[in-house]
């Protein structure tokens, strides 16, 4: 009986410790998407030439890991790891590449607005090249050669389909932008056609006029005398008729 009581108390204590430690334990995050073939996170495979940097690439799933991977980067204070957001960082000759993947377009766009506004208002030294690619917000830090940095960003491809589950909240903005862009293109095309038509008409008139003038001059040069009598007898008052 004593052994049974001791055993039951030990079980209760173990259960209590398990629940207590589990409540305070930091949950382990998993990558959003892992390749079935080799178990490598898909985000790492979206790095340019990922096979050459896979061993040095860092998968980032929280703010602390981000600060450890890229210290002293004030712009990264704007990044929030919520709802499965994760990132990957790797070093390239063009600079330090960071790709942050959001799980939905709205989060990526909100972060893009904050980052773009911050970079526009703050001088970055060393330079930072930034671009939004799909749900990726990509940075190239220490980008002393911006051409090479942009070429590095050009290699990043977002291969997932972005689709809203409900109504697209940015549909009206896209329609307005499409209307403004289409109107601008039509206006510019119309002006170009009108100006081009006027210029072509003037040039054609000048060329035809010069040709007609030269033709008349050459024809007049072959005639020594001229009479408007039409072959009739007339007075030779102007000394043009024989």
Do residue 153 and residue 36 come from a single domain?
A: yes
Peptide bond between residue 126 and the one before it cis (omega within 30 degrees of 0) = yes
Contact criterion met (CB below 8 Å) for 118 and 76 = no
pLDDT at residue 60 greater than cutoff 60: yes
Q: Which residues have CB under 8 Å from 153's CB, separation 6+?
A: 129, 131, 133, 138, 140
Do residue 158 and residue 200 come from a single domain?
A: no
Give CA–CA dist 55/45, Å, rounded.
12
Which neighbouring-strand residues pair with 41? 34
Asked if the structure places residue 11 within a domain, the reply is: no
Asked if the structure places residue 234 within a domain, the reply is: no
pLDDT at residue 42 greater than cutoff 90: no
Do residue 78 and residue 36 come from a single domain?
A: yes
Do residue 46 and residue 155 come from a single domain?
A: yes
Nearest partner of 95 among 158, 147, 58, 157, judged by Cα: 147
Can you give the pLDDT at residue 238? 63
Q: Which residues have CB under 8 Å from 150's CB, separation 6+?
A: 129, 131
pLDDT at residue 237 greater than cutoff 70: no
Q: Which residue has the tokens 């008139």?
A: 205
230 or 127, higher pLDDT: 127
Do residue 153 and residue 201 come from a single domain?
A: no
pLDDT at residue 162 greater than cutoff 80: no
Do residue 31 and residue 151 come from a single domain?
A: yes
Q: Region 49-71: what's the mean pLDDT?
A: 89
Do residue 123 and residue 95 come from a single domain?
A: yes
pLDDT bin (cut points 50, 70, 90) of residue 127 is: confident
Average pLDDT over the chain reads 80
Question: pTM of this prediction?
Answer: 0.54
How many structural domains comprise the chain?
2
Q: Region 92-121: what's the mean pLDDT?
A: 91
Do residue 130 and residue 174 come from a single domain?
A: no
Q: What percent of the chain has pLDDT over 70?
A: 72
Asked if the structure places residue 199 within a domain, the reply is: yes
Do residue 85 and residue 175 come from a single domain?
A: no
Do residue 139 and residue 39 come from a single domain?
A: yes
| C-beta pairs of 99-102 under 8 Å, 24+ apart in sequence | 99/43, 99/46, 99/47, 99/136, 99/137, 99/138, 99/156, 100/136, 100/137, 100/138, 100/139, 101/32, 101/43, 101/135, 101/136, 102/135, 102/137
Q: Which residue has the tokens 């049974």?
A: 4
pLDDT bin (cut points 50, 70, 90) of residue 19 is: very low
pLDDT at residue 163 greater than cutoff 70: no
Residues spanned by the domain of 58: 26-167
Do residue 82 and residue 37 come from a single domain?
A: yes
């Amino acid at each position: 009986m004593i052994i049974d009581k001791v055993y039951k108390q030990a079980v209760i204590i173990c259960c209590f410790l398990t629940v207590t430690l589990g409540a305070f334990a930091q949950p382990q995050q998993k990558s959003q998407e892992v390749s079935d073939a080799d178990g490598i996170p898909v985000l790492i495979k979206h790095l340019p030439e990922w096979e050459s940097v896979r061993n040095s690439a860092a998968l980032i799933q929280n703010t602390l890991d981000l600060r450890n991977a890229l210290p002293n980067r004030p712009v990264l204070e704007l990044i929030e790891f919520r709802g499965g957001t994760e990132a990957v960082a790797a070093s390239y000759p063009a600079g330090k590449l960071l790709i942050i993947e959001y799980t939905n377009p709205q989060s990526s766009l909100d972060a893009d607005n904050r980052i773009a506004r911050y970079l526009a208002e703050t001088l970055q030294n060393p330079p930072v090249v930034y671009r939004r690619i799909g749900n990726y917000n990509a940075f190239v830090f220490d980008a002393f050669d911006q051409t090479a940095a942009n070429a590095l960003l050009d290699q990043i491809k977002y291969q997932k389909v972005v689709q809203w589950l409900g109504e697209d909240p940015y549909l009206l903005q896209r329609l307005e932008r499409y209307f403004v862009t289409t109107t601008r293109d039509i206006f510019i095309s119309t002006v170009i056609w009108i100006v081009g038509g006027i210029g072509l008409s003037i040039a054609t008139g000048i060329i035809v006029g010069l040709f007609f003038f030269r033709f008349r001059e050459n024809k007049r040069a072959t005639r020594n005398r001229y009479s408007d009598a039409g072959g009739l007898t007339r007075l030779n008052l102007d000394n043009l008729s024989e």
